Amino acid sequence: MKKTRGSGKNMQSTPAVRASISFPPALYETLEEIAKQKKVSLAWVVRDAAEKYVAERTLSTGEKTPKT
């Protein structure tokens, strides 16, 4: 697993893991549009959505949140 230094707010001092993800075309276009509207990168939108998904799942299942 290759690690790089993250450049986002939450990841400035935390190593980040690079991942390659495939999306259905319609979902990718929607994510691109959200990124454009928010004036952020598509990667930021995906990370934000993933963090919210994990937080919601953690609340509903009572699991512990992984430390980032």
* pLDDT tens readout for residues 28-47: 999 999 999 999 999 999 99
Residue 16 phi, psi dihedral angles, 5° rounding: -110, 155
Mean pLDDT of 11-22: 83
Looking at residue 58, its pLDDT comes to: 85
Q: Where are the beta strands (DSSP E) in the chain?
A: 3-5, 15-17
Given pLDDT bands bounded at 50, 70 and 90, which one contains residue 10?
low
| Rg over CA atoms, the chain | 14
In the prediction, which pLDDT does 21 show? 96
Q: Is the separation of the CB atoms in 51 and 67 below 8 Å?
A: no
